[in-house]
Chain A
Amino acid sequence: MAEQMTGAEMVVQALIDQGVTHIFGYPGGAALPIYDAIFQQDAITHVLVRHEQGATHMAEGYARSTGKPGVVLVTSGPGATNAVTGLTDALMDSIPLVCITAQVPTTLIGSDAFQECDTVGITRSCTKHNYLIKKVEDLPKVMHEAFHIATTGRPGPVVIDIPKDVQFALGEYLQPNINGFRHSSYKPHVEGDIEAIRAAVDLMLKAERPVFYTGGGVINSGPEAATHLRELAELTGFPVTSTLMGLGAFPASNKQWLGMLGMHGTYEANLAMHDCDLMINIGARFDDRITGRIDAFSPHSTKIHVDIDPAQINKNVRVDIPIVGDCGLVLEEMIRIWRSRTNEPRTEAIAPWWERIRTWRAVNSLGFKNSDTTIKPQHAIQRLYELTKDRDVYITTEVGQHQMWAAQHFHFDKPNRWMTSGGLGTMGYGLPAAVGVQVAHPDALVIDIAGEASVQMTMQEMSTAVQYRLPIKVFILNNERMGMVRQWQDLLHGGRYAHSYSESLPDFVKLAEAYGGKGIRCDDPAKLDDAIREMLDYPGPVLFDVMVEKDENCLPMIPSGKPHNEIILPDTANIGSIIDEKGRQLV
């Protein structure tokens, strides 16, 4: 006979049976029975956060760096509403999360009870799926199904809202069993259509100006997908670029790597996208940061699109060969079929293409004028990269110029090493995400490349890092500006800096010390390396306040409304005169 237990005990048992070892949460009245069940076991470690948004980003960092789902536990009302930003972030970036929200007792639902909110209503549009549990009998099945839905197909966040009386109620616990799921309608399509894959390889065998455009789907598919991507790139000899979300799936040290594409991508990546005759999109979604002006996007190419989510096909850009399936499986098939046709890469046929790419590379679009009096932000990241590249390093970021500079100047050779908020662009993501990564990889070097504005949004999680002895390093590129906003105001609004500077900043060194961590400040390029070493050598959490050039622009840049071949390069002196009236209206 199945075991009898309370709803709260079922939650914990289901987490254990799903292989969960860490959860991120914050207690409150409606969640107390679950907290009590957590207290009475030691298979699962609970990390107490300082704000529920922090819990969601920690779970995202944990998930993205391990490939396992991240788990969040919050109370009803404000606990649930505080989690909404992270849930939306996870939905946009396809991160598997299971978020358990406590709810007022079923008898009080709808009565405007203390700390009641319509959690399933509020989170319906920012989750892959959500549940309100009304009967304890439903709880075990739903717990297991939630993990299944969060982690399969296109991953995403799932919310389970559990009223307090259901947590107390006794019922029968059930083990995970895929046949027992409530939704027989949920059947993600993972194997690509073999005829379509064959047709894709046929095109690849004839391509003269091909490019692989890869995205976060390759990372989500798992490390084998990244291995397959590398193999297929080598077999074909084709150049590879990636979205922000896909960095690390293809090694940046490989000579076929073009760098990141998109709004702040390299000249060679964007021009290769614009001029190619065959675009092979693996696990990316033709996001507007990538395509620029849609009607001028890669006008001469035939397009292949591999995506596990059928709704991405032909959404923004019409494609010629859609392949719905898991990137890893499709890549594997592509390799097999390519091999059955030829043993040679298309070196000769695409040599003129590589020649053009070489001329674009020679432009050195990531170049910048270094200085020996002020620290240039790009230089700071380059030094951070040089001084850490021999270690197992995980990078998270906040949102802004520093994020783009990190993507441009820090290089990744492995997947799951780069955690950033791409789709939602959530300032405040990086610090808690770093905490989550460090929880999953206690011995690794975890660095949040931050901006002074973003990092203040979730700064309180320093306290979590100190409590759990998580030696995260927060590398703040402090330009005393919301640099990215300032850059857009220069570009679009005549340099009228409406509320885009960071006034009355805290003393980050003292702040670090107040939290029980270490603070470091550096404003001298000559002392930067030593200061970075000092940060790396310190065994606990560090806030490193890197005082950088205040008005540096993040270039190259394809302004909104412009096609890829109208990219602004670094030597452009006055960015204020570039955009016309129509372009100003775009974001």
Chain B
Amino acid sequence: MNAHLQPTGSAYFLTKETDSPERHTLSVLVDNEPGILARIAGLFTARGYNIESLTVSETEHEKNLSRITVVVVATPKVLVQIKLQLERLVPVHRVHDLTAEGAALERELALVKVAGTGEHRVETLRLADAFRAQVVDASTESFVFEITGKPSKIEQFIALMVPLGLVEVVRTGLAAISRGPQGM
């Protein structure tokens, strides 16, 4: 192939990232207004940041505030940029890197549907009990479990349910909060 026809790579001379990416949980306090989620999500896509999970919900109705929990995977340098770029958005009040600030509490809820009969049903219930998953719906051939906990616990439970007749799963994404008396 002619040299000049070689596909062009990335156009800019950013130095190669030598640091390895880390998973961090950010808590973002925002005004609850139309378009806020699009604004946050748009920033991540426009700047090429990776989101693993994003949850949003109004938390303080009188103050019209919502709290967004984002799990990102990025190098330390990019993590700082993500925080600063989020803080530039007009409706963003504060951004806390919960992972950097110390071991935060992280919880997720999942609804897990499992179908099966006979021995499988017994085993399913036994495991659900061990994981403290609640039965929220049952039929003669199926259960729906509600399970909360760290994402790792939920993943483990789901993995165990696969051979027992897992039908589908829905997860809320992560909610996280710091330990101790301080709020964000």
Contacts and interface: CB of A to CB of B under 8 A. Distances in A.
A494 B4 CA distance: 8
B11 A585 contact: yes
B42 to A, nearest CB: 6
B89 to A, nearest CB: 8
Contacts of B84: 310-311, 313
Contact of B15 (A149, A294, A492, A493): A294
B35 interface: yes
Nearest to B94: A185
A132 B85 contact: no
A293 B8 CA distance: 17
A120 B35 contact: yes
A132 B77 contact: no
A530 interface: no
A449 B13 CA distance: 31
A242 to B, nearest CB: 22
A255 interface: no
B91 interface: yes
Contact of B35 (A124, A314, A492, A560): A124
Nearest to B10: A585
Interface in A298-346: 309-311, 313-315
Highest count of chain A CB atoms <10 Å: which of B13, B89, B90: B13
Given A581-B3, A585-B9, A128 B80 contact: no
Interface string B48-71: 000000000000000000000000
B12 A587 contact: yes
Contacts of B92: 185
Given A121-B38, A124-B35, A185 B91 contact: yes
Contacts of B35: 120, 124, 132
Contacts of B172: none
Contacts of B146: none
Interface residues of A, number: 36
Given A311-B84, A315-B81, A584-B4, A186 B15 contact: no
A292 B13 CA distance: 8
A145 to B, nearest CB: 9
B87 interface: yes
B86 to A, nearest CB: 9
A295 B38 contact: no
A581 B8 CA distance: 10
Contacts of A121: 38
A585 B38 contact: no
Highest count of chain A CB atoms <10 Å: which of B77, B89, B90: B90
A128 B90 contact: yes
Interface in A394-442: none
B184 interface: no
A314 B77 contact: yes
B57 to A, nearest CB: 18
Interface in A70-107: none
A310 B3 CA distance: 42
Contacts of B13: 288, 292-294, 560-561, 586
A125 interface: yes
A288 B10 CA distance: 14
Interface string A550-583: 0000000000110000000000000000000100
Contacts of A149: 90
Nearest to A310: B84
Contacts of A587: 11-12
Highest count of chain A CB atoms <10 Å: which of B80, B84, B92: B84
A391 interface: no
A149 B89 CA distance: 11
Contacts of A496: 4
Nearest to B88: A311
A132 B80 CA distance: 31
A309 B10 CA distance: 26
Contact of B88 (A183, A295, A309): A309
A299 B77 CA distance: 19
A192 B13 CA distance: 31
B34 interface: yes
B46 interface: yes
A587 B8 CA distance: 10
Contact of B42 (A124, A129, A293, A561): A124
Contact of B12 (A132, A183, A288, A295): A288
Highest count of chain B CB atoms <10 Å: which of A184, A560, A585: A585
Interface in B89-116: 89-93
Nearest to B85: A311
Contacts of B10: 585
Contacts of B9: 585
B12 A586 contact: yes
Interface in B22-51: 30-31, 33-35, 38-39, 42-43, 46
Given A288-B12, A560-B13, A587-B12, A124 B87 contact: no
Interface in A251-299: 288, 292-295
Contacts of A292: 13
A11 to B, nearest CB: 20
B90 A183 contact: yes
A585 B90 contact: no
B14 interface: yes
Given A292-B13, A586-B13, 4 more contacts: A125-B46, A186-B90, A311-B81, A584-B3
Interface of B: 3-4, 6, 8-15, 30-31, 33-35, 38-39, 42-43, 46, 77, 80-81, 84-85, 87-93
23 contacts: A120-B35, A124-B35, A124-B39, A132-B35, A149-B90, A182-B31, A183-B91, A185-B90, A288-B12, A292-B13, A295-B15, A310-B88, A311-B88, A314-B80, A493-B4, A494-B4, A560-B13, A581-B3, A584-B8, A585-B6, A585-B8, A585-B9, A586-B13
